[in-house]
Amino acid sequence: MKLCSTQELDIIKTFECGQCFRWNCGDDGVYRGVVAGYYAEASVKDGEVYITSDAPEDIWQQYFDLGTDYAEISRAFTGEYLSKCVEYGRGIRILRQDSWEALCSFIISQCNNISRIKGIVERLCENFGDPICVGDKVYYTFPSAERLAVLEPEKLACIRSGYRAEYIICAARAVVGGEIDLEALKKCDYKQAIKALRSIRGVGEKVANCVVLFGLWHMEAFPIDVWMKRALKENFPPDFEPETLGEYAGLAQQYIFYYARSMGRKK
């Protein structure tokens, strides 16, 4: 299925900018992943993005947030440094990911690098998700909160997540027990969503903001990690507040993060 142009969506930047952990690029340049329980392939040909999947077509419109005009929004991001970030990251889209998957994945992400996060997430899926057979290969769905809530942390030793295992189980139990209603948090105020998520053991400010942005779709969220702290310190006034970037501050954050991390890795 032809999805959109590469001007609207750059799959390399979008999948490699640190917001998701289940898309992997093969030697053929095709990205393969599992979304909403469906196996999918994303590829580029002649300036167009193609998706191959059994998933309903409307899933992809929502997942890639294709109904939002990022080019128009980005015009509001001004200033020499931010404009440079926007140009470098053009084509990034904020994925509308499953809320439970985002919560669990970003708990795993704390004090971790992307390669290791992807490995832990993959082992979690292999051990506790459902198999999807594609030719001679097997992919796995992301395990539900219900599946993980009945486990003790020791049962996660196989995914090698260390101390995060206890946090994963705590989060699963909070969701299953109704202490955290992820669907309701999509509709409530951004700050209320942050406060609710921070009540989960092991969820701090950065993880909460990542979940709110990538899993609950509050576009004003502005996660700050080591790369962001450095970029903000070196390129923004000391009194800078993310709120000044407006209701799409989260998109600006991704442009800044992607540029800062890319430039930092080149040094």
In which order are the strands placed within the sheet that holds 38-45? 2-5, 48-53, 38-45, 31-35, 24-25
Whether residues 104 and 210 share a domain: the answer is yes
Please give the single-letter amino acid code of residue 31: Y
Whether residues 50 and 153 share a domain: the answer is no
Enter the pTM of the model: 0.95
Instruction: Give domain status of residue 226, yes or no.
Output: no
Number of domains in the chain: 2
Instruction: Give domain status of residue 86, yes or no.
Output: no
Q: Is 13 a catalytic residue?
A: no
User: Residue 39's domain spans which residues?
Assistant: 2-67
Q: Which residue has the tokens 């006034």?
A: 237
- Would you write out the chain's pLDDT as a tens digit for each of its 267 residues? 999 999 999 999 999 999 999 999 999 999 999 999 999 999 999 999 999 999 999 999 999 999 999 999 999 999 999 999 999 999 999 999 999 999 999 999 999 999 999 999 999 999 999 999 999 999 999 999 999 999 999 999 999 999 999 999 999 999 999 999 999 999 999 999 999 999 999 999 999 999 999 999 999 999 999 999 999 999 999 999 999 999 999 999 999 999 999 998 766
Q: Is 203 left (phi over 0), alpha (psi -120 to 50) or beta?
A: beta
Whether residues 103 and 8 share a domain: the answer is no
Instruction: Give domain status of residue 191, yes or no.
Output: yes
Q: Which of 214, 233, 255 is the last residue before a domain boundary?
A: 214
Instruction: Give domain status of residue 158, yes or no.
Output: yes
Whether residues 44 and 136 share a domain: the answer is no
Whether residues 47 and 135 share a domain: the answer is no
Question: Which two structure tokens, joined as six digits, stand for 176?
Answer: 């299953």
Q: Which of 214, 241, 256 is the last residue before a domain boundary?
A: 214
Dihedrals φ, ψ of 131, to 5°?
-75, 145
Q: Which of 22, 45, 67 is the last residue before a domain boundary?
A: 67
Which domain CATH number covers 119?
1.10.340.30
Q: What's the CA gap between 13 and 22, in Å, rounded?
A: 14
Instruction: Give domain status of residue 198, yes or no.
Output: yes
Catalytic one among 206, 229, 233, 266? 206
Whether residues 194 and 120 share a domain: the answer is yes
